[in-house]
Amino acid sequence: MTEHPDLPRLQRRLAEFAAARNWGQYHTPKNLASALSVESSELVEIFQWLTPEESARVMSDPATAHRVRDEVADVLAYLLQFCAVLDIDPLTALSEKIDRNEHRFPAPED
């Protein structure tokens, strides 16, 4: 894997990209949540009719792998923009959710 910029820097890049195109007016929580849903559905569409075995090998086909990476990027972009608009730290939100799930679903004791 290659090294990546941190989340705040990516969020700034996304905000600058949108601002340069005057898209900020459309980046409401409702619109971003809708866009996130659409992009997630486009990711699901790639896997829709694959068997479990085929889906496990999806990244071995360069054309399909490219599509998967693009849809993952779209999902993440809209999620990061959504978090920026609502002032949510996505990594903190994830960590807190894992903490809650560890209490809700304790690991079986041996």
Residue 98 is part of which domain span? 7-104
Residue 24 resides in a domain: yes
Asked whether residue 1 is domain-assigned, the answer is no
Mean pLDDT for 80-102 is 95
What confidence score (pLDDT) does residue 52 get?
97
Domain-located, residue 40:
yes
Confirm whether 98 is domain-assigned: yes
Please indicate, yes or no, if residue 81 is contained in any of the structural domains.
yes
Residue 55 lies in a domain: yes
16-74 pLDDT tens trace: 999 999 999 999 999 999 999 999 999 999 999 999 999 999 999 999 999 999 999 99
Count: domains in the chain: 1
Answer whether residue 2 is part of any domain.
no
Residue 90 lies in a domain: yes
Return the CATH number at 38. 1.10.287.1080
Token pair in block for residue 31: 């619109």
